[in-house]
Structure 1
């Protein structure tokens, strides 16, 4: 578990067979569609929101990705990666297209992003406040990264995806992804170090 995850940035989960779930959802099973959405929408939305803080743009891109996934479910191959990675890759393309249409790239989430479960699990208020302050510093540091570096950091360190899965989502080679991630981590450490933050 990375230090970013310990701060309340949550990675993907659940164990239902993704190929079977997708088949049921694409066949029009409303319950399967709801399960698929519950299972995958959180990580995909957080990923898009970390790339740019425009919630409406992220939601639209995520919805576009779900529609495309259900329309063409045969594109998903479980041998090539996870359903979450496949959907995130579609969502990334939709997000980039919407950014081009809007002629802009947007900033990452505001400093007050926090995980409600982490807040509820925190018994000591001072510990909670320190955690929120550290989260704010981390987001401020992430905001200073290029969006490609931000993307690599979000996929690997925040969502805890493998290098190959993250590279597939970003549409780059493993080596390019690792280079972006190294630069992102180095830059973030420099920014946080200048603020006296030691994660």
Structure 2
């Protein structure tokens, strides 16, 4: 006789994530990652974009798990809504993208202003020291994205780099910054 299968407890998993349990996030990824990727693919209709969406969704789940309110819906629904919203935003953003001409932005002034802004924003020199450890192009990507508010496509146009390369630089740079700051 088969034993009954215990359903995955999304609520408990989110509670554990909110308490900093990385194993819970891994369990959530192992259990739902493929299905979430399927949702993102159906909406974005692009594998690379869908992978970015799921990556961003898991970061958001990790950082905002404590904000989940079971009175407003199920934990599983909350997780899927994050993926759906990120995917819909990605579609909207891709429709709004415009190619910047060479005279639209002065990269060097944006970089210098970004360094001043990030130093003031951080309130400490630690983030500045961590940013200095990055290679110049990935460092500019981070500054353009998080100080200047540029989209990935805008950064690619500013740096004359392929969009996929810019996304990879940002992803790896954020990981390096997390490790440096952690």
Specify the TM-score bucket, using the shorter chain as the normaliser: 0.3 to 0.5
* Structure number with higher helix proportion: 2
Q: Between the two structures, name the one with larger relative contact order (CA 8 Å, sep ≥ 6).
A: 1
Please say which structure displays the higher CA radius of gyration.
Answer: 2
Q: TM-score, normalised by structure 2?
A: 0.44
Q: TM-score, normalised by structure 1?
A: 0.40
